[in-house]
């Protein structure tokens, strides 16, 4: 039996990145820049791998912890600033 392993932080970043980008002026939203920002954020955040839907639900609850939200916001803003100053498009 093959069991999938999933990084819950990837889902969290996908769900919340757009909202953060809305608050940052002059950030490019092209596909390449968004992918670069997402990659930088995911490389800076601690991954949360799960193998069950129950584990996914519990990890998503942890991801919404205030401390993790602040960490995500800091990483996202830093990544957006870096990509904005050095775009690859």
Cα separation, 27 vs 47, whole angstroms: 25
Residues in the chain: 89
Q: Is the pLDDT of residue 89 over 90?
A: no
CA atoms within 13 A on the CB side of 32: 6
User: Nearest-CA neighbor of 38 among 87, 83, 3, 8?
Assistant: 83
**77-85 average pLDDT score:** 96
pTM: 0.85
pLDDT at 28: 93
pLDDT tens string 13-61: 999 999 999 999 899 999 999 999 999 999 999 998 888 887 777 777 7
pLDDT at position 82 is 96
């Amino acid at each position: 039996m093959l069991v999938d392993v999933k990084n819950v932080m990837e889902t969290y970043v996908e769900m919340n990145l757009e909202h953060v980008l809305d608050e940052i002026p002059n950030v490019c939203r092209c596909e390449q820049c968004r992918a670069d920002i997402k990659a930088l954020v995911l490389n800076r955040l601690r991954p949360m791998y799960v193998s069950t839907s129950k584990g996914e639900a519990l990890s998503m609850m942890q991801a919404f912890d205030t401390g993790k939200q602040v960490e995500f916001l800091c990483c996202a803003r830093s990544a957006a600033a870096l990509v904005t100053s050095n775009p690859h498009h």
